[in-house]
A and B are shown apart, each in its own frame.
Chain A
Amino acid sequence: MIRYVESRLGLDSWGRRALRKVFPDHWSFLIGEIALFCFIILVATGTFLTLFYRPDAAVVTYEGPYEPLRGQEVSAAFDSVMRLSFEVRAGLVMRQIHHWAALVFVASTVVHMCRVFFTGAFRRPRELNWIVGFTMLMLALGLGFTGYSLPDDLLSGTGLRIGYSALISIPFAGPYIASLAFGGEFPTENVISRLFVLHVMLLPGLTIALLGAHLAILWRQKHTQYRGPGRSESNVVGKGLWPYQALLSLGVMALTAAVLALMGGLVQINPIWLYGPFDATTVSAPSQPDWYMGWLDGATRLFPPWEPTVFGVTIPSMFLPAVLLPGLFFTVVALWPFIERRLTNDAAEHHLLDSPRDEPGRTALGVAGLLFFTVLTLAGGNDLIALTLDIQVESMTRFFRLAMFVVPPVGGALAYRICRQLRDSREHPLGRGSGVVLRRTEQGGFEEVPRS
């Protein structure tokens, strides 16, 4: 059969070469695959959810089996998610797998990007693929935010309201952009159906297109690899696509699916029935967004409520933490390959990866950036952390304000020193090859000399 297709389509030699394509066999190359498989699971479970979801803001009376909400006026959207959760067979587990998969999807995308960043895999000729990957991260955040808002429960409504006030805080254009995006002043009936189109068509469509481009570019450019015996800028050492890599990837897919199914089946996530339907006048206290938006929430909690007036325009306090800060951060991340090339004047092609210690400056910057992000994310949960650790919320906020400025530079400097020391010690962290070699002396004995 395969031979039949091959000969008709003239794929003979291409297919044969493809099967022998070499993949590096270091575990860190598989994190991107976890992200890919999370995405596939998201599409599969999402398709199931779409069969039952109604993107409709019309008011209906809830009549389902969850007693405490029976008789309440809810939106048709909320009603359909309640039906999914309590009446549709396997609806709840699908919802939960979908939500867990979304959290792990963004997490694995970020870790994959960290791998690429810290090993310098983004350098020429792979800058383009870095940008493609970065754009997919942005799409993932958009997918997460729109999906989080679809159930139209109290929590997601609060998230939307914050998104609206962030948009409206942009000087000059803000009110127009916000009213254009939401179709009027928040809350509007249009917003659910718009979010739905974004969430199930536009953003996934773009993601799939970029995913194709990402993998095609990867295929064409071949993999990077870590340094090692026999590895050079002009070869790739690893295992072939068939059978090793193909089976390994299948294994990773099964593993990802298994872990997500386990979480979806066993651990409750986003219990919208507790939050109840969205009501513009109510906020439930620990109202946090999903983790990948938490840092923006944290930033708005930490920034003082300044409203400076610039050129006669008052800048709303949301603008700095919720628009300018992420804007700058993401711009630097997106353009990093070009920024680094400027800084190092290194325009050569690189196919061999750095060990993070080889580039202390880059590593230090990355560590500082991650720590900044982590401090803000934790600050987004400051009330819960305060409760758990039995500390005053106000002191938590003061602590995080300080930490925001202190922890990243200190962590970065520490990372810099550790990298320098490791590099100077010439010892490999993975224990491959010690720092010395044995040499035969002229007298016939052996002596140890440091590896050069």
Chain B
Amino acid sequence: MLLRSLLAAVVTTIALAAPSLAQQSGRELYERRCASCHGPDGAGREGLGPSLTGAGAAAADYQLRTGRMPLQNPQAQAVRKPSVFSEEETRLLVSFVASLGEGPPIPSVDPGAGDLSSGQSLFIANCAACHGAGGNGGAVGNNAAAPSLYASEPQTMAEAMVSGPGQMPVFGFSEQERNDIIAFISYLQTSEAPGGIDIGGTGPVPEGFVGWFFGLTGLVMVLVLLVGTGSSRAR
């Protein structure tokens, strides 16, 4: 009797003290795929990966769903690629990273509630400097590039804004402002470019190339072919 109650007490304490099953397998996954760079307890490793103790679920979800983590080369900028994890594994990893410390949770998004016009001005004022007015991406210095936004999902956009990945700053927008911006980026993604072929949408540099190498060079080539070097002889 005594033995049984003792046993029961032990079992309950173990059950209460031990991490939940989900966290357990989240930790396992983490140790296998992430600890080499971010350290076994998420404190980070010099030159390999930053500390994740303040990263939060938003950062983890962003990095994992866009396939950026696990990184292959810690020196190079993380880029979007297909995710290596299943939906279930992603969720486990995200909640494990979130459990490492205080960090922004996954923000909720509702692009339908966004206001396009406010989104356009917020985007131009805050995002266009790096991602370009058309969202086609641009260089930001320090060997980093702001990627094109044409592949991003609304969820990713919101997470990028609250977690500030890589060289991107954290933006303290209200939920409404985030939805406005997301509505505008989604508009860019789905609307057809008025005026014909969108040549990179990055303005006068590609336009100059087309003007020279299609426009003028094309014209001159035709003239060279048709007129040539002249055949007239003196009479």
Contact = CB atoms under 8 A, between A and B. Distances in A.
Interface of A: 24-27, 30-31, 34, 67-72, 85-86, 92-93, 96, 99-100, 103-104, 107-108, 111, 154-155, 226, 229-231, 235, 237-239, 248, 251-252, 255-256, 259-260, 263, 265-271, 273-276, 279, 281-291, 294, 377, 380-381, 383-384, 386-387, 390, 392-394, 430, 432
B200 to A, nearest CB: 8
Given A70-B116, A92-B195, 18 more contacts: A25-B231, A30-B227, A68-B187, A104-B219, A155-B203, A237-B232, A251-B226, A263-B210, A266-B197, A267-B196, A268-B201, A288-B205, A289-B204, A381-B205, A384-B202, A384-B205, A392-B142, A394-B141
A430 B211 contact: no
Interface in B110-164: 116-117, 119-121, 124-125, 128-134, 137-139, 141-143, 145
B150 to A, nearest CB: 13
B2 interface: no
Contact of B227 (A27, A72, A269, A383): A27
B229 interface: yes
A71 B130 CA distance: 25
Nearest to B77: A390
B138 A237 contact: no
A284 B227 contact: no
Interface in B197-220: 197-199, 201-208, 210-212, 214-216, 218-220
B195 A96 contact: yes
6 contacts: A85-B195, A226-B229, A268-B197, A271-B193, A387-B137, A393-B139
Contacts of A288: 203-205
B194 interface: yes
A291 B139 contact: no
Contacts of A286: 132, 138, 202-203, 205
Contacts of A287: 203
Contact of B129 (A69, A239, A255, A285): A285
Interface string B1-13: 0000000000000
Contacts of B62: none
Interface of B: 116-117, 119-121, 124-125, 128-134, 137-139, 141-143, 145, 184, 187, 193-199, 201-208, 210-212, 214-216, 218-220, 222-224, 226-234
A71 B138 CA distance: 28
Nearest to B197: A267
B199 A267 contact: yes
Given A70-B117, A286-B138, A111 B220 contact: yes
A206 B191 CA distance: 43
Contacts of A71: 117
Contacts of B207: 99, 103, 269-270, 290-291
Contacts of B134: 271, 274
B67 to A, nearest CB: 18
Given A27-B228, A30-B227, A103-B207, A266 B133 contact: no
A92 B195 CA distance: 7
Contact of B218 (A68, A259, A266, A392): A259
A100 B215 contact: yes
B124 A387 contact: no
A69 B122 CA distance: 12
> Lowest 4 A-B CB distances belong to which pairs?
A230-B234, A291-B208, A103-B211, A25-B230
Contacts of B131: 285
Contacts of B224: 27
A166 to B, nearest CB: 18
B132 A284 contact: yes
A290 B133 contact: no
Nearest to A288: B204
A263 B120 CA distance: 28
Given A268-B197, A271-B193, A284 B128 contact: yes
B211 A268 contact: no
B230 A238 contact: yes
A239 B232 contact: yes
B234 A392 contact: no
Contacts of B141: 392-394
A203 to B, nearest CB: 20
Contacts of B210: 263, 267
Contact of A107 (B202, B215, B223): B215
B221 to A, nearest CB: 10
Given A111-B216, A230-B233, A271-B193, A104 B211 contact: yes
Contacts of B130: 285
Contacts of A387: 137-139, 145
Nearest to A73: B121
Contact of B234 (A231, A281, A285, A384): A231
A107 B223 CA distance: 16
Contacts of B137: 387
Contacts of A104: 211, 215-216, 219
A86 B230 contact: no
Contacts of A269: 195, 207
Q: Which of B145, B230, B234: most chain A Cβ within 10 A?
A: B230
A174 B199 CA distance: 38
Given A25-B231, A276-B124, A294 B205 contact: yes
B205 A107 contact: no
A135 B82 CA distance: 57
B215 A154 contact: no
A61 to B, nearest CB: 10
B226 to A, nearest CB: 8
A86 B194 contact: yes
Contact of B230 (A26, A69, A282, A381): A26
